[in-house]
Amino acid sequence: MRALNFLIIVFFLTSCNQERKSDFSINGTTNELKNGTVLYLYDASKEKIIDSVRVQNNKFNFKTNLQNYPIPAVLKNKDNSLYKRLWLENKRMIFNASNRNFENAEILGSDSEIKYDNLYKAVDTLPRKEREKLLTKFIKSNSDNVLGSYVLAEWYISLKKEQTEPLFNQFSENNKNSVYGKEICKYIESNQNPKIGEKYVDFESTDQYGKKKKLSELKGKLTLLEFWASWCAPCRKDNKNLVDYYVEYKSLGFEIFQVSLDDNKEQWLEAIKEDNLNWTNVSELKGWKNNGAMIYGINLLPTNYLIDENGIIISKDLRGEELKQKIKEILE
């Protein structure tokens, strides 16, 4: 009986060890890095460090137990001056930067890395329609793989809700419940894409002074809802006209609610100052993933909506003299 119990225990421990066994490793080669340089392997999906290692004689090795895979990851140093995106799999992988820049290192041993790399090599050469076809095909063929949800999370703003929702609906439950699936789901649920003739959709954001502002606070006035960013040259050009219109028509009930899709606060604030923007300006500093932008389905800048005093959208993307004439027509 004791012998039988011993065999059961040995079998149980052996089984557990087999379950925990990981074949993942990365053998890396670099060039001109100081001995002792610390590299971090960072899980991009969970935003946490998986492991770290020190470079010695321009070589390093990771041998870490991966619980799940494939994993979108980053190999980097502390200040991000060394930075390389890669896909981890439960295999022996090679990172080769012996004769090239760190960010252009050759990655071997990961099928996911090859798939992802080949996709973007093709995407970068195609016109928009062909690019969308290729992306759609790739996402569909990876509906049960994190690659599918990861790529759709990169492109849902460009693909818009009309193409994004059917692709999301084909995902496996695991993919829908991944961090990327949840992000896509939030976009689908948020996006209302109001049209001309419909009532505006209210939302709240934070202005440059840290105060919460709602679009509905301007109800009762002719309001221009303007989506822009400091890095958008056409937006900055339009700002010059908006400043003139605001000075001329503010006393007659014209207001502007401007939403920045910046992700850098200093650049946003500097643009407000340089362009002399003296109306409500808000930003979540989340780039294209701004909540207001997702509600309105923004995928191009600048984009604007003219909302009358009753909260009805009366025009979209009027600019320059056309916008001025519309404001004048309503207020005068």
> What pLDDT score was predicted for residue 332?
84
What torsion do the CA atoms of 25, 29, 30, 32 make, to the nearest 10 degrees? 130
Which residues in 214-225 are b (16+ Cβ under 10 Å) and which e? ebeebeebbbbb
* pLDDT tens for each residue of 15-26: 444 444 568 999
Task: Give the pLDDT mean for 250-278.
Answer: 97
Q: Which CATH architecture has domain 204-331?
A: 3-Layer(aba) Sandwich (3.40)
* pLDDT tens for each residue of 35-87: 999 999 999 988 899 999 999 999 999 999 888 889 999 999 999 999 999 99
* pLDDT tens for each residue of 109-132: 999 999 999 999 999 999 999 999
Between 2.60.40, 2.40.360, 3.30.110, 3.40.1350, what CATH number should domain 20-113 receive? 2.60.40
Say how far apart CA 324 and CA 242 lie, in whole Å: 9
CA-atom Rg of the chain in angstroms = 26
pTM higher than 0.75 for the full model? yes
> What pLDDT score was predicted for residue 68?
83
> What pLDDT score was predicted for residue 249?
97
Name the residue ranges covered by the structural domains of the chain: 20-113, 126-190, 204-331
Please check the confidence at residue 170 and state whether its pLDDT lies above 50. yes
> What pLDDT score was predicted for residue 21?
59
Cα distances from 278 to residues 27, 108, 172, 207, 216, in angstroms, run: 56, 54, 48, 12, 18
> What pLDDT score was predicted for residue 244?
97
